[in-house]
């Protein structure tokens, strides 16, 4: 099936969503996603951050879709034409969505441990308005203890349901979920039962904001002061492939490896994440690279660069023989000058 997103044509399998097709193209036309997570089934369709304009439905029915579509939940059709960043309507909608998501967000980024790798921060930076119109009081929740290693900040939650789906699909018994409705909806465990499943720590990585954070890393450092390295160890329960965040010789935090869309590549177990903070436990592969504009790259010179392949002829790159002779001045001997004096 052929789809065109922002003028870029791509051939995709039937059944892919617009968001997935856009991610195959990459670049600026990828819609932001706050709730959709490709590794988890049933996510998406909640945050509306990924709205796109479908200017041509398909080859068979070329009428445009009347409203902006959530690209994570809309499948592609043959000959579909989609406008993402090129549509002013979409940009306007993203601004509005960002404003909605930030209504109850406490904006405590200076305190929050997620700052620097936060999806909501990126969304607000790229698509948000600079002022706010919400004058009412923000909803606040009393802090709740949900286990030994995970800190819940319900105030920061945007109710994306990613952590609920993680618990449902990675662990055999889910003990937390969303309780209440509307303004009162909150992530909580049933009667404060502690989350102690071996894979529960992945909720931290999956959380797009700082609502679920690592207690062992709490207030230790800011993410951009750490040096991230790819590391692995022999783990009986998971793949053991992680990113370790180091400060000097000390491993301050262990996370799963996240790709360019901030989705984890492989889920890791809690013992890797929380209990192995010694450099002897890990085999360090090399520095983890992040996208160009990430704050994690601050004072870091190993950036993620794709190799540029020039598909031009040799003559265009090197020039004509006669010009090369002129530029290098081979005909004028350098020693001639000195010998005469």
Partner 1 sequence: MSTNTYSLSGRKKEVSNKKLTWTEKIYLVAILKGMMVTLKHMFKKKVTISYPEKTRPFSDVYRGKHMLMRDDEGRERCTACGLCALSCPAEAISMKAAERTADEMHLYREEKYAEIYEINMLRCIFCGLCEEACPKQAIYLTKSKQIAKADISRDNFIFGKDKLVMPLEAAIENTKQQNQA
The rounded Cα 141 to chain-centroid distance in angstroms is 27
CB of 121 to partner 1, least distance (A): 12
Cβ distance 249 to 279 under 8 Å?
Answer: yes
CB of 212 to partner 1, least distance (A): 16
Nearer to partner 1, 74 or 155 (CB): 155
Question: What part of residues 193-222 is at the interface with partner 1 (CB under 8 A)?
Answer: 218-222
CB of 244 to partner 1, least distance (A): 20
Question: What part of residues 220-239 is at the interface with partner 1 (CB under 8 A)?
Answer: 220-222, 224-225
CB of 151 to partner 1, least distance (A): 10
Residue of 26, 61, 111, 126 that binds partner 1 (CB under 8 A)? 111
Rg of the chain over Cα atoms, rounded to whole angstroms, equals 25
Residue of 191, 305, 309, 332 that binds partner 1 (CB under 8 A)? 332
Around Cβ 109, how many Cβ atoms within 10 Å? 16
Nearer to partner 1, 143 or 180 (CB): 143
Residue of 312, 315, 321, 337 that binds partner 1 (CB under 8 A)? 337
By CB under 8 A, tell whether 301 contacts partner 1: no
Residue of 65, 69, 109, 178 that binds partner 1 (CB under 8 A)? 109
Order of all β-strands in the sheet with 283-287: 250-256, 241-247, 227-232, 283-287
Nearer to partner 1, 130 or 336 (CB): 336
By CB under 8 A, tell whether 108 contacts partner 1: yes
By CB under 8 A, tell whether 312 contacts partner 1: no
- The secondary structure of 262-331 as a DSSP string is S-BSS---HIIIII--SGGG-EEEEEPP--TT-GGGTT------PPP-----HHHHH--HHHHHHHHTTT
Helix (H, G, I), strand (E, B) or coil at 76: coil
Cα distance between residue 82 and residue 65, in whole Å: 10
Cβ distance 18 to 74 under 8 Å?
Answer: yes
Cβ distance 82 to 54 under 8 Å?
Answer: yes
Residues contacting 129, CB < 8 A, separation 6+: 95, 98, 99
Residue of 96, 103, 159, 295 that binds partner 1 (CB under 8 A)? 295
Which tokens sit at 255?
């996370």
Nearer to partner 1, 131 or 337 (CB): 337
Q: How many residues bind partner 1 (CB under 8 A)?
A: 18
By CB under 8 A, tell whether 95 contacts partner 1: no
CB of 340 to partner 1, least distance (A): 7
Nearer to partner 1, 322 or 339 (CB): 339
If you ran DSSP here, which 8-state letter would residue 154 be given?
G
Which residues would be at the binding site for partner 1 (CB under 8 A)? 108-111, 115, 218-222, 224-225, 295, 298, 332, 336-337, 340
């Amino acid at each position: 099936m052929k789809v065109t997103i922002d003028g870029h044509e791509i051939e995709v399998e039937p059944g892919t969503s617009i968001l997935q097709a856009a991610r195959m193209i990459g670049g600026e036309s990828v819609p932001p996603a706050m709730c959709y997570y490709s590794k988890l089934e049933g996510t998406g369709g909640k945050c509306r951050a990924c709205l796109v304009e479908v200017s041509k439905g398909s080859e068979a029915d070329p009428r445009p879709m009347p409203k902006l579509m959530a690209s994570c939940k809309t499948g592609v059709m043959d000959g579909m034409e989609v406008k993402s960043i090129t549509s002013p309507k979409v940009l306007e909608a993203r601004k509005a969505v960002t404003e909605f998501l930030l209504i109850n967000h406490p904006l405590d980024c200076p305190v929050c441990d997620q700052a620097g790798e936060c999806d909501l921060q990126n969304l607000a930076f790229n698509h948000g308005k600079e002022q706010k119109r919400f004058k009412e009081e923000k909803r606040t929740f009393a802090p709740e203890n949900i286990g030994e290693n995970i800190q819940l900040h319900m105030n920061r939650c945007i109710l994306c349901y990613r952590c609920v789906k993680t618990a449902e699909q990675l662990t055999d018994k889910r003990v937390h979920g969303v309780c209440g409705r509307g303004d009162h909806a909150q992530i909580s465990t049933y009667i404060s039962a502690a989350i102690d499943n071996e894979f529960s720590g992945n909720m931290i990585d999956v959380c797009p904001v700082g609502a679920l954070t690592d207690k062992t890393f709490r207030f230790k450092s800011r993410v951009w002061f750490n040096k991230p390295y790819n590391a692995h160890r022999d783990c009986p329960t998971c793949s053991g492939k992680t990113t370790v965040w180091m400060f000097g010789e000390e491993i301050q935090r262990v996370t799963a490896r996240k790709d360019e869309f901030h989705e984890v590549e492989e889920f890791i177990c809690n013992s890797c994440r929380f209990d192995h903070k010694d450099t002897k436990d890990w085999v360090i592969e090399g520095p983890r690279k992040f996208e160009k504009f990430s704050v994690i790259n601050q004072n870091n010179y190993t950036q993620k660069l794709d190799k540029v392949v020039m598909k031009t002829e040799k003559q265009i790159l090197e020039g004509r023989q006669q010009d090369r002779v002129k530029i290098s001045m081979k005909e004028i001997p350098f020693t001639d000058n000195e010998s005469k004096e």
